[in-house]
Amino acid sequence: MNDSTVVPDTPFAVKEYERLPAQVWWLGGTMILIGLVTFVLMSLDLEQRGSYLYLFFYSIPANTAISVFPHEPILILYGTFANLWITALAATGGTIVAGWLDHRVFVPVLNYSKLTSYKHNRFYTKMRDFFMRWPFATLLVTGFTPIPFWPFKLLVFSIHYPLWKYVTALVLARFPRYWLLAWAGAIFEIPAWVLIGMVLAIFVTYAIRGIPELWARIKERRARKGEVYRVSGPEE
């Protein structure tokens, strides 16, 4: 059982978690592992009979709330050799799994009592109030169009929007989007090396931006520990 309290005057009787459940860690790690393994398999064996299965598994981490795995180039690439309808179905299936995983992981994280100070931010409250006017329609529009979808995903989790409504919106918005992306690949015949290069470029961009920041945080943490050690002295 999760330690939680009900926060009054919030949509859907939002629960505030006093501790993060273990599922947050092992489900999050599973999403990352699936993405890495599947991307490697797709790169080695893309046009073989297992391709739709690869796409299904790749679409799981590619559609999580904080994903570094882009789905657009991959779907366009599939459009150059695969059936459009099966491609859209496989990607949508992976997206359903991603939606379930996201809800299980990020609802506790974004309602963790030590992290909920962001809910007092004026920008957040305005976005939340706007979203709550037409939540389902907003998810449909942002899930289908190029409008950034991830901020509304985070709103979904922060207000504990019902899982079944969220997944339904994902299916209705993403399936036609995926079909159109695959159709674009079939029509324009973009070379595979260009699309794979786009994916790799995105990974490199994340690495260039993320690794220095991560290293800076590690150094900062080490410096803090060193300062504490100098003040308190070694343990006897």
Q: 178 with 65, same domain?
A: yes
Give the Cα separation of 153 and 62 in Å (integer).
14
Report the percentage of the chain scoring pLDDT > 70. Answer: 67
Q: 124 with 209, same domain?
A: no
Give the Cα separation of 236 and 151 in Å (integer).
50
pLDDT at 32 over 90: no
**Domain total for the chain?**
2
Cα 234 to the center of its chain, rounded Å: 43
Q: 123 with 180, same domain?
A: yes
Q: 143 with 59, same domain?
A: yes
Give the Cα separation of 134 and 15 in Å (integer).
22
The 3-state DSSP composition of the chain as helix, strand, coil percent (nearest 5) reads 75, 5, 25
For residue 91, count other CB atoms closer than 10 A to its CB: 27
Give the Cα separation of 130 and 135 in Å (integer).
8
Q: 197 with 170, same domain?
A: no
In single-letter form, the type of residue at position 155 comes to: L
At CB < 8 A and 24+ separation, what contacts does 87-91 make? 87/52, 87/55, 87/178, 87/179, 87/182, 88/175, 88/176, 88/178, 88/179, 88/182, 89/175, 90/52, 90/53, 90/55, 90/56, 90/59, 91/55, 91/56, 91/59, 91/174, 91/178
pLDDT band at residue 57 under the 50/70/90 scheme: confident
Q: 125 with 85, same domain?
A: yes
Q: Domain boundary residue among 190, 208, 224?
A: 190
Q: What's the mean pLDDT in 42-68?
A: 75
**pTM, 2 dp:** 0.74
Q: 213 with 182, same domain?
A: no
User: Which of 10-19, 68-77, 176-185 has the largest mean confidence?
Assistant: 176-185
**Which position has the higher pLDDT, 130 or 15?**
130
Q: 121 with 177, same domain?
A: yes
Q: Domain boundary residue among 156, 174, 190?
A: 190
Nearby residues of 136 by Cβ (< 8 Å), 6 or more positions away: 165, 168, 169
pLDDT at 165 over 80: yes
Give the Cα separation of 221 and 94 in Å (integer).
37
Q: 167 with 201, same domain?
A: no
Digit-coded pLDDT (tens) for 124-157 = 999 999 999 999 999 999 999 999 898 999 999 9
Q: 235 with 198, same domain?
A: yes
Report the percentage of the chain scoring pLDDT > 90. Answer: 31
pLDDT at 204 over 90: no
**Which position has the higher pLDDT, 111 or 227?**
111
Q: What's the mean pLDDT in 14-29?
A: 72
Domain that holds residue 14: 4-190
Q: 152 with 211, same domain?
A: no
Mean pLDDT of the chain: 78
Which residue do the tokens 């690495």 mark? 207
Q: 219 with 112, same domain?
A: no
